[in-house]
Structure 1
Amino acid sequence: MEKKPYYLTTAIAYTSGKPHIGNTYEAILADSIVRYKRQQGYDVRFQTGTDEHGQKVELKAAEKGVTPKEFVDEVSGEIRRIWDLVGTSYDKFIRTTDEDHEKQVQKIFKKLYDQGDIYKGEYEGMYCTPCESFFTTSQLVDGKCPDCGRECTPAKEEAYFFRMSKYADRLIEHINTHPEFIQPESRKNEMMNNFLLPGLQDLCVSRTSFKWGVPVDFDPKHVIYVWIDALSNYITGLGYDVDGNHGELYKKYWPADLHLIGKDILRFHTIYWPIMLMALDVPLPKQIFGHPWLLQGGEKMSKSKGNIIYADDLASLFGVDAVRYFVLHEMPFENDGTITWELMVERMNSDLANTLGNLVNRTISMSNKYFGGVVNNAGVAEEVDEDLKKVVLETQVKASNKMDDLRVADAITEIFTMFKRCNKYIDETMPWALAKDEEKKARLETVLYNLIESITIGASLLEPFMPETSKKILEQLNTQARAFDDMTEFGKYPSGNKVTEKPEILFARLDIKDVMPKVEEIQAKQKAEAAPEEKYPEVEPKEEITIDDFDKVQIRVGEVLKCEPVPKAKKLLVSQIRIGNEVRQIVSGIAKYYKPEEMVGKKVAVITNLKPCKLCGVESQGMILAAADDDGNLSVMTLDKDMPAGSEIC
């Protein structure tokens, strides 16, 4: 019977720098899903790759003194190296600088323009360079990018626009009639309530302020905006052709079964991409899953903080499969997960060394000690065996159900629950006690057979998540991975087979005291490398102003008399600030960086002639000036000399 096709894609990684473990998590997650699907018997196509155009790449290349193509060649190669390191079994690694991709992007743009879905206009709004996205002022959050939280700058330029609203009702209907389309459900609700139902604005799809992009072939001063370029990789990588001369892979695998993406780019994949496909008369993907973030100790990773963790650093200390286990096991279905070096060591010791490694090692060791490594099923069963068999055979069903719902962490938990049951079985049957009684030799053989069979099934189930560990276990048991459909019956391990004489230690226990000095070396190196970035943050220049323009802004010294949180607003503090003979109330988005008591007594720079406004229902009568770096860190502007409250800053 012909295998059913299954097509999965990751988001293509942006070539701005080396991916950290939070970025790498997506590749590992995708790989575990496709390996599971292959195990089920699907004909899998797995595509990943790199997104290589845009203003940020152009700027970073200029900083390094190389061409954009030279820059992305290096970074794309590094991303691919990391993906290979963690065992990502992709079938296609696409690059948006691939010639065939760029050609189809131009044809897609032209088709949409010819049929009236794209038109030329002028864009004026707030622009986020890292996200390469325009926003209206109302879309900003605390004056910053709603996606990444960084500063946006005013921008105005001629551009082409996509008529989003033309397809909005059709997309809303599709989402309502296909509840599985956006997962988890909370992400669907976010897209519907925040973007679709309030009404879509037309999307800017070209730029003229930089050159590193796919040119609009009929208007060369424009380059095609990143999202049309990047998103179309999912079909161009299969051989899609605008003129209908599609490749065989496209005919076989499209529509995609799953787009696996980070929750921060959900809007682009669940709104812009489906509308683009509707306009091209291409079927929509079956499902889009927006996975949560992997945070370092509860915070987003940042070079300047020295808290970035890279997959290759982790692998050098713990091994690749330990890294895969950790990121897959620790990530909830919807909420963000946390990674720390200490937690890695804890999981290494408790789950991998104790639960799994110790189980395999002592089972093989006992088989060698008592029977020269030969495993026989003597058929001397007792009641305790039935519960073990029940747990083992149920694990395949339970893990499969979890994987079908993309609850990967829960699937791994089911497998390790089975391994824990095997360890309990050893304690219940006490093989060492059975070995002392010659009359119980057949019972001992049965016990060890049951353990070897259980571990065989467990190792086979483990393959999608920890492929090298699965392979090592099965080699030591001198057997092959059990076929997916053969895990429903207990007792297929061949009686009389012989296990390895010297079991290999799968995972060695670690002492945190030995690990942390190595971690400190890694962190020190990161901070040293981040120093130039700290000195030279990326700030897009604003339009020049005259001294008359500057004179319109009044900045005075303010003394913070009182400061407290704004109710029901996690980011906001409200301060009572003395400015000369009056006291102003000012609301600021600084709660993440300052405790209220830290603000009291500070002499700060305040813009005093801003029109009052309400933030979360609290009136603000000015603005405290602050500095922000590329990573979103913030520092309020204070004076280095004591000046009277109310003094004018000029």
Structure 2
Amino acid sequence: MKQKFFITTAIDYPNGAPHLGHAYEKIVSDCYARWNHLLGNEVFFLTGTDENGQKLSKAAEVAGAVSTQVYVDENVEKFKNLCAQLHIGNHDFIRTTEKRHHQIVAWFWKKLQDNGDIYLDRYSGHYCLACEAFYTETQSKNGKCPVHETELTYMEENGYFFRLSKYQDWITEHLKNNIDFLFPSNIRSELLSRLQGEKLLDLSISRPNQGWGIPVPEDQKMVVYTWFDALINYYTATQLDAHGQDISEKNLWPASVHVIGKDISWFHAVIWPAMLKSAGLELPKQVYVHGMVLGSDGKRMSKSAGNGVSPEDCLAQFHLDSFRYYLLKVIPSGQDGAFSLEDLAKTHNNELANEYGNLLMRVIKLSLRSLGSQITPSEKIDFKLDIYPQFKQEMQQREHHKALLTLWTGVRQLNAYINQMEPWKMKDDLIGIQRVMYTALLNIQLITQLLVPFIPESADKALKLLGGQGDFESTVNMKTIAFNIQDGSPLFPRIEKEKK
């Protein structure tokens, strides 16, 4: 049955060039969007930029920009270009400075206010400008930001508050009773531990208006706290399109899955659900927390450590699909993983070029040489790979790296079959070679079809070369189909000098 599948990335902070973590999050999200498209679901894929933070004004000033808006516009283009370079199939790119977002934030604020969950008071606490967040003594050690390890600034100011404390018991029970709401399980355990051991404080949701941000409805002296308005972007895009046209009748909300980094899991799995509950809106079905892309030394990437790699560097040296495949395979779903250009080159050569690429070319060229381009179904088939049920289960469980391992058992099994049968020696056995090559074609069609979410450009080329006359359902159910084969060049030429 066709279902709606609405997937989002976190929206990126445009205060510099995108890094490898941004690319990874978009590739993971794109993989699941393409997978659901294969399943026949109605996919809506959203990404964008978070542009209302105070630190953007400071960053623009430091950079000597003409204005904050000009500074932000220039950096937003870098993130749009990254999506284009990665061939990300997003349907919308939202900017939180857009008029449509201002409209929905004002509406959302009013809903919470009418529910008695927004009030004016005075706040004091320790603040991190880089995070644009206040931290309690429990969260910070020695007065330092738990994320950036920089000194926190003590601040006192009047402002508006959201009654987050009102929803503590409710969100605790929701996390307890809905084990699939937050993936992976260790993040869920961490948040539950915090909820059960710490009394929630109401959330400061405004800042003094310094000329940048979304004004608080009916109080122009204040702007909406950037994290509060940023979360609402997901809902904005389901109500108004990029042109400001009403699309609420499409019923895109709630989100099927928010794909985020673990440093913002509290905002998405605790604060955002409480905001939605107050507004009377449905909660997202899942918050998927991916791991961090580490340097080749296993440490966090940074300029000072000299272990950073930019997406642009990777794409300049490697085929996009090799880059995608490597990230999706070596970074375990929901866990941190080390990234190495040298290892990427080895993975390209060993798995994509040697194992899958050579298998594809052998099957195509042997079939053309022995049987011609038009291959009719064979009455006898030696075997059908039984990998789809496990592959599908792993994809549905957000374990794409395991799904790739499952797929590669099929690649290796089919390679072993070809080597064992030696069809190049069956010149005088037309029935035998028909059986062997059709067995190979049917199975590599399945493998290639399942590779589409991971290496879309290469898989699409391979499917065209195979010319299988069947849809996704007939392929995964291993129904016999005809093939109209074309010759072609290798999809993954070997990299002779592996990158370092």
Q: TM-score range by the shorter chain?
A: over 0.9
The equivalent residue for 2:20 is 21
For 2:376 and 2:280, locate their aligned partners in 1 and report how far apart those are by CA, in whole Å.
61
The equivalent residue for 1:4 is 3
Q: Which amino acid aligns with 1:416?
A: W
Shift of 1:489: 2.4
TM-score normalised to structure 2 length: 0.94
- Equivalent residues in 2 for 1:292-303 (5 A)? 292-297=291-296, 298-303=298-303
The equivalent residue for 1:268 is 267
For 2:474 and 2:12, locate their aligned partners in 1 and report how far apart those are by CA, in whole Å.
35
**Preserved CA contact (<8 Å) 2:209 2:220:** no
- Equivalent residues in 2 for 1:202-221 (5 A)? 202-208=202-208, 210-221=210-221
Q: Residue 45 of structure 1: SS of its match in structure 2?
A: strand
Q: Residue 221 of structure 1: SS of its match in structure 2?
A: strand
**Is the alpha carbon distance of 1:450 and 1:337 closer, same or farther for their aligned partners in structure 2, counting shifts above 3 Å?**
same
**Preserved CA contact (<8 Å) 1:460 1:481:** no
- Equivalent residues in 2 for 1:547-562 (5 A)? none
**Is the alpha carbon distance of 1:377 and 1:112 closer, same or farther for their aligned partners in structure 2, counting shifts above 3 Å?**
closer
Structure 1 residues 514-548: Cα deviation after superposition (integer angstroms, max 9, x where no partner): x34xxxxxxxxxxxxxxxxxxxxxxxxxxxxxxxx
For 2:468 and 2:477, locate their aligned partners in 1 and report how far apart those are by CA, in whole Å.
17
RMSD, aligned CA: 2.2
The equivalent residue for 1:499 is 485
Q: Which amino acid aligns with 2:403?
A: A
Shift of 1:373: 3.9
Q: Are 2:366 and 1:404 aligned?
A: no
Shift of 1:256: 1.4
For 1:94 and 1:313, locate their aligned partners in 2 and report how far apart those are by CA, in whole Å.
26
Structure 1 residues 311-331: Cα deviation after superposition (integer angstroms, max 9, x where no partner): 232122111111110111112
Q: Which amino acid aligns with 1:102?
A: H
Q: Residue 219 of structure 2: SS of its match in structure 1?
A: coil
Q: Are 2:404 and 1:415 aligned?
A: no
**Preserved CA contact (<8 Å) 1:342 1:512:** no
**Is the alpha carbon distance of 1:128 and 1:17 closer, same or farther for their aligned partners in structure 2, counting shifts above 3 Å?**
same
- Equivalent residues in 2 for 1:465-544 (5 A)? 465-479=454-468, 482-484=471-473, 486-492=475-481, 494=482, 497-501=483-487, 503-512=488-497, 515-516=499-500
- Equivalent residues in 2 for 1:221-232 (5 A)? 221-232=221-232
Structure 2 segments unaligned to the other structure (5+ residues): none
Q: Which of 441, 449, 460 is the matching residue for 2:449?
A: 460
Percent identity between the two aligned chains: 35
Q: Which of 396, 419, 432 is the matching residue for 1:427?
A: 419
The equivalent residue for 1:632 is none
For 1:300 and 1:132, locate their aligned partners in 2 and report how far apart those are by CA, in whole Å.
21
Q: Which amino acid aligns with 1:136?
A: T
Shift of 1:480: 5.8
**Preserved CA contact (<8 Å) 1:378 1:443:** no
The equivalent residue for 2:371 is 371
For 2:305 and 2:331, locate their aligned partners in 1 and report how far apart those are by CA, in whole Å.
23
For 1:331 and 1:480, locate their aligned partners in 2 and report how far apart those are by CA, in whole Å.
35
Q: Which amino acid aligns with 2:440?
A: L
The equivalent residue for 2:76 is 76
Q: Which moved more, 1:203-212 or 1:64-73?
A: 203-212
Q: Which amino acid aligns with 2:495?
A: L
**Preserved CA contact (<8 Å) 1:324 1:465:** yes
**Preserved CA contact (<8 Å) 1:460 1:482:** no
The equivalent residue for 2:337 is 337
**Is the alpha carbon distance of 1:481 and 1:136 closer, same or farther for their aligned partners in structure 2, counting shifts above 3 Å?**
farther
Q: Residue 290 of structure 1: SS of its match in structure 2?
A: strand
Q: Which amino acid aligns with 1:453?
A: L
Q: Which amino acid aligns with 1:429?
A: M
Shift of 1:186: 1.2
**Preserved CA contact (<8 Å) 2:48 2:95:** yes
**Preserved CA contact (<8 Å) 1:121 1:161:** yes
**Preserved CA contact (<8 Å) 1:57 1:72:** yes
The equivalent residue for 1:549 is none
**Preserved CA contact (<8 Å) 2:468 2:484:** no
The equivalent residue for 1:395 is 387
Shift of 1:247: 4.2
Q: Residue 156 of structure 1: SS of its match in structure 2?
A: strand
Q: Which amino acid aligns with 2:109?
A: F
- Equivalent residues in 2 for 1:95-494 (5 A)? 95-141=95-141, 143-208=143-208, 210-239=210-239, 247-249=246-248, 252-297=251-296, 298-379=298-379, 385-386=382-383, 389=384, 392=385, 394-435=386-427, 438=428, 440-479=429-468, 482-484=471-473, 486-492=475-481, 494=482
**Is the alpha carbon distance of 1:173 and 1:253 closer, same or farther for their aligned partners in structure 2, counting shifts above 3 Å?**
same
**Preserved CA contact (<8 Å) 1:181 1:286:** yes
Q: Residue 220 of structure 1: SS of its match in structure 2?
A: strand
For 2:286 and 2:125, locate their aligned partners in 1 and report how far apart those are by CA, in whole Å.
32
**Is the alpha carbon distance of 1:109 and 1:23 closer, same or farther for their aligned partners in structure 2, counting shifts above 3 Å?**
same
**Is the alpha carbon distance of 1:376 and 1:295 closer, same or farther for their aligned partners in structure 2, counting shifts above 3 Å?**
same
For 2:251 and 2:219, locate their aligned partners in 1 and report how far apart those are by CA, in whole Å.
35
Shift of 1:146: 2.0
For 1:415 and 1:480, locate their aligned partners in 2 and report how far apart those are by CA, in whole Å.
22
Shift of 1:417: 1.6
Structure 1 residues 4-42: Cα deviation after superposition (integer angstroms, max 9, x where no partner): 212111111111112112221111111111111111111
**Preserved CA contact (<8 Å) 1:47 1:92:** yes
Larger radius of gyration: 1
For 1:512 and 1:22, locate their aligned partners in 2 and report how far apart those are by CA, in whole Å.
26
The equivalent residue for 1:621 is none
Shift of 1:293: 1.0
- Equivalent residues in 2 for 1:614-633 (5 A)? none
**Preserved CA contact (<8 Å) 1:474 1:480:** no
Q: Residue 52 of structure 1: SS of its match in structure 2?
A: coil
TM-score normalised to structure 1 length: 0.73
Q: Residue 126 of structure 1: SS of its match in structure 2?
A: strand
- Equivalent residues in 2 for 1:26-37 (5 A)? 26-37=25-36
Q: Which amino acid aligns with 2:25?
A: E
Structure 1 residues 527-574: Cα deviation after superposition (integer angstroms, max 9, x where no partner): xxxxxxxxxxxxxxxxxxxxxxxxxxxxxxxxxxxxxxxxxxxxxxxx
For 2:315 and 2:338, locate their aligned partners in 1 and report how far apart those are by CA, in whole Å.
17
- Equivalent residues in 2 for 1:31-46 (5 A)? 31-46=30-45
**Preserved CA contact (<8 Å) 2:209 2:221:** no
